[in-house]
């Protein structure tokens, strides 16, 4: 077959299949690891969901990490990487967890594609873990952990042996009255923190911005501004910030149980665009946007029922103004995030030094990566036949 046909076919494969087909030949390996193929594959690959799974049968109520595709299939499990708060800390493919079951209560930084684990520090408690966040600096692509309290700021770079150093104190007091409000969001190398009260009576909240490359604070920006002629916004509560398709996103809930999804359209001017207005049952809290679908309009979001402890993955269509449930999760799955497990993470260099056995050596993760049938199925799929579900 012509090379462009092979390129087109392989670019639609999932990550696990593309990694295996690198072994077919040197030519296929060069094609799959090439920048053009990696870019095409990224545009066609659905993200991987990352959940915390609580094991209530264990005496210490331990938690595992579960990687899940958009069809609800568990594609990877990392057993007991540490116990952390409901809103765990994740940026790109690096995740940090508080392993307080360890005698020293250490912090683990885990590079999800390779399974490399770096121990950051010891003698942390659960409250201190709320003040920790991880983000990727730009343009160096180095991952840094920021420890931000109401008065102090410390930074360490994961690749340099995890040495803490002092940075500038924050220009305003960050919000830290709950684990979710203290979670930061990193976009284009800038880590964002909420500042101000989450009370509906407060007119505005601020966003603190910390440049991870220079390790200096940028000018703060105001949150979405309420309009006098917009009755929908008279009483709102800021729920959280997330990263939505590499854009800073702020989520607010109104007194009429409508969720407002704002996007920061101009960081220099602090201009916000209200992208979605989603009516939701009063029992649902939180609503967390995950990604804008490939069609560029529909919003994929995670929602949790605060009374039944069940959670769902839903799609909101702004044209019909309706939500469609895509998946329902067990009550032991806590929170949801997007893990950037894309092809480039498997063909590029490791983010963290290998300080622990790779998660790829775990049998269940190995089964995910290598669980395909022999390559003959691929050719049957190309030329037709009953086995066309590679």
Contact 42, 342 (CB under 8 A): yes
Strands 94-99 and 299-305: unpaired
pLDDT (tens digit, 9 = 90+) per residue, 110-156?
888 777 777 776 566 555 667 888 999 989 888 999 988 777 899 98
Mean pLDDT (the chain, rounded): 78
Superfamily of domain 46-356: Kelch-type beta propeller (2.120.10.80)
pLDDT (tens digit, 9 = 90+) per residue, 230-272?
655 557 888 888 999 889 999 999 888 899 999 999 988 899 9
Q: What is the pLDDT of residue 271?
A: 93
Which long-range contacts link 83-88 to residues 24+ away (Cβ below 8 Å)?
A: 84/52, 84/129, 85/126, 85/129, 85/130, 85/179, 86/52, 86/179, 86/180, 86/334, 86/335, 87/179, 87/180, 87/183, 87/240, 87/335, 88/52, 88/335, 88/337
**pTM exceeds 0.85:** no
Q: Could you tell me the pLDDT band of residue 46, with boundaries at 50, 70 and 90?
A: confident
Report, as an integer, the average pLDDT of 97-120: 73
- Locate CATH 2.120.10.80 in the chain: 46-356
CA–CA gap between residue 10 and residue 32 (Å, rounded): 8
| Percentage of residues in the chain having pLDDT higher than 90 | 28
* End-to-end Cα distance, the chain: 19
Helix (H) or strand (E) holding 77: strand 74-78
Q: What is the pLDDT of residue 58?
A: 59
CA–CA gap between residue 32 and residue 105 (Å, rounded): 41
Q: Could you tell me the pLDDT band of residue 388, with boundaries at 50, 70 and 90?
A: very low
* Nearest alpha-carbon partner for 150 in 188, 186, 194: 194
Q: What is the pLDDT of residue 334?
A: 74
CA–CA gap between residue 310 and residue 331 (Å, rounded): 5
Put residue 385 in one of left, alpha, beta given phi > 0 → left and psi -120 to 50 → alpha. Answer: left
């Amino acid at each position: 077959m012509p090379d462009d046909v092979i390129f087109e076919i392989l670019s639609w494969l999932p990550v696990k299949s593309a990694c295996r087909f690198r072994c077919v030949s040197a030519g296929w390996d060069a094609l799959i690891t090439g920048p053009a193929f990696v870019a095409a594959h990224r545009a066609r690959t659905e993200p991987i969901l990352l959940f915390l799974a609580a094991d209530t049968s264990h005496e210490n109520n331990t938690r595992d990490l579960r990687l899940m595709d958009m069809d609800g299939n568990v594609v990877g499990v990392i057993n007991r990487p540490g116990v952390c708060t409901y809103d765990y800390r994740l940026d790109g493919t690096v995740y940090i967890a508080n392993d307080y079951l360890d005698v020293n209560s250490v912090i683990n930084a885990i590079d999800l594609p390779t399974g490399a684990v770096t121990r950051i520090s010891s003698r942390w408690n659960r409250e201190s873990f709320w003040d920790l966040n991880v983000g990727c600096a730009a343009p160096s692509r180095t991952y840094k952990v920021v420890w931000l309290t109401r008065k102090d700021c410390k930074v360490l770079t994961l690749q340099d042996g995890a040495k803490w150093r002092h940075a500038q104190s924050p220009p305003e007091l960050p919000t830290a009255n709950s684990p979710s409000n203290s979670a930061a969001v990193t976009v284009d190398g800038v880590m964002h923190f909420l500042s101000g009260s989450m009370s509906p009576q407060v007119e505005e909240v601020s966003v603190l911005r910390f440049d991870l490359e220079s390790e200096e604070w940028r000018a703060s920006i105001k949150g979405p501004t309420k309009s006098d002629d917009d009755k929908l916004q008279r009483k709102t509560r800021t729920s959280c910030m997330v990263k939505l398709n590499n854009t800073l996103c702020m989520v607010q809930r109104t007194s009429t149980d409508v969720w407002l999804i704002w996007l920061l359209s101009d960081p220099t001017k602090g201009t916000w665009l209200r992208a979605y207005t989603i009516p939701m049952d009063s029992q649902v809290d939180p609503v967390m946007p995950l990604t804008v679908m490939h069609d560029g309009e529909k919003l994929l979001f995670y929602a949790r029922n605060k009374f039944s402890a069940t959670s769902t993955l839903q799609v909101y269509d702004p044209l019909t103004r309706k939500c469609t449930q895509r998946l329902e999760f067990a009550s032991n799955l806590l929170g949801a995030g997007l893990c950037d497990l894309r092809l480039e993470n498997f063909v590029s260099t490791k983010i963290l030094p290998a300080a622990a056995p790779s998660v790829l050596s775990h049998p269940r993760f190995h089964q995910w990566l290598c669980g395909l049938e022999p390559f003959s199925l691929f050719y049957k799929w190309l030329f037709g036949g009953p086995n066309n579900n590679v």
